[in-house]
Structure 1
Amino acid sequence: MTVTPAYCQMMARYNAWQNGQVRAACEKLTEAELRADRGAFFGSVMATLNHILWGDFLWMSRLDGGEGPSVPAKEHIDICPTFAVWSQERLRMDQRIGQWADRVSEDTLSGDLHWHAVMLDREMSKPLADCVVGLFNHQTHHRGQIHAMLTSLDRDPGATDLVLMPEGSSWH
């Protein structure tokens, strides 16, 4: 599979746009609504938001060599104790992803990524392009779950189709 810097930049913009819409919809939820078990894989809206952010920390630490998650995998759904903390961390992560996407080269994307998978306790190696697609696919998949939970609460999470992303959308 060929993944280009332009793909990474587009997906970083899409990710930031979608996270902004989710943030706006979630700001209208009560604490009880954020934390209620809604039958999703991670239960609540807040737990799912935290799961996505934790995964982003993990993958970005592998991609850019920066900071990884602040809590171990078994505590990932509690990485941010409040929605306000999550909102700030989400903004920072979207900037980090965007900055990485702006710097990544075709040469880097054509190589392999090597890491130690703590949960599996083994060394891993995969094409970096596959890992990048996985990063963005993971976000989209779980935001879809949040979208369903928000819809069931009569909150409008906004359009999600990539082709509807406003021109000039940015991770900035």
Structure 2
Amino acid sequence: MITPAYCQTMARYNAWQNKGLRDMIAEMDRDALYLDRGAFFGSIMGTLNHLLWGDTIWISRFDGGQGPDPSIKDSVDFTPTPAVWAGERFKMDARIKLWAERVSAIDLVGELSWHSGAMNRDFTRPIALCVMQLFNHQTHHRGQVHAMLTAMGQRPNDTDLPFMPEDF
């Protein structure tokens, strides 16, 4: 279904896209970042926090490391400030890249079982599908952030995979 090369490419893509967002967020007005814009998680920061929270849950299922404590309803407040978010986002992107560099084809075979607090039930799904969910979830919510930024007159970086710099 997927390969280690897919994981590595998507981990690089994730880091590239989030670098662009970190750079933009650092320059933006705090009120603009927290304004409820009608997105599923409200604001730009609410959406970015939810995405970081989701990445933390998924990667902890893959690498066995620390996962988040708060529930999905608390995910919009996962970090207290844009600066803290930027630091945590940088570390999470490095964690995802490190996992992707180490993953082997056999690691992507089999099933993963977990309890979903959001759905309040247990799940078992193919590991490869869960890995695709990690990267799909990122793209989905970054797309929402991209739309919110564009609507407010900002110009986010290009999002096309073929234009990803080689150094990511």
TM-score normalised to structure 1 length: 0.94
Moved over 4 A (4+): none
Q: Quote the residue 1:62 is aligned against.
A: 61
Farther off after superposition, 121-130 or 13-22: 121-130
Higher RCO by CA contacts (8 Å cutoff, separation 6 or greater): 1
Percent of residue pairs bearing the same amino acid type? 55
The answer to whether structure 1 residue 117 and structure 2 residue 151 are counterparts is no
The CA RMSD measured in Å over matched residues stands at: 1.0
Q: Residues 133-172 of structure 1 correspond to what in structure 2 (within 5 A)? A: 133-169=132-168
Q: Residues 20-169 of structure 1 correspond to what in structure 2 (within 5 A)? A: 20-169=19-168
**Mapped contact 2:71–2:117 kept (Cα < 8 A):** no
Q: Deviations over 1:43-90 (max 9, x none)?
A: 100000001000001111111111111322221110101000000000
**Mapped contact 2:10–2:135 kept (Cα < 8 A):** yes
Cα distance in structure 1, aligned partners of 2:44 and 2:123:
31
* Gaps in structure 1 of 5+ consecutive residues: none
Per-residue deviation, 1:167: 1.6
| 3-state SS, counterpart of residue 126 of structure 1 | strand
Cα distance in structure 1, aligned partners of 2:145 and 2:110:
33
Cα distance in structure 1, aligned partners of 2:104 and 2:166:
24
| 3-state SS, counterpart of residue 124 of structure 1 | strand
Cα distance in structure 1, aligned partners of 2:118 and 2:74:
13
Counterpart amino acid of residue 161 in structure 2:
L
**Mapped contact 2:8–2:101 kept (Cα < 8 A):** yes
**Mapped contact 2:60–2:67 kept (Cα < 8 A):** yes
Counterpart amino acid of residue 122 in structure 1:
R
Q: Quote the residue 1:10 is aligned against.
A: 9
**Mapped contact 1:50–1:77 kept (Cα < 8 A):** yes
Counterpart amino acid of residue 154 in structure 1:
G
Cα distance in structure 2, aligned partners of 1:11 and 1:119:
25
Q: Deviations over 1:77-130 (max 9, x none)?
A: 101010000000000100100010011110110111111223333321100000
* Gaps in structure 2 of 5+ consecutive residues: none
**Mapped contact 2:72–2:117 kept (Cα < 8 A):** no
Per-residue deviation, 1:31: 0.7
1:120/1:43 Cα in 2 relative to 1: closer, same or farther (>3 Å)? Answer: closer
| 3-state SS, counterpart of residue 137 of structure 2 | helix
Per-residue deviation, 1:136: 0.3
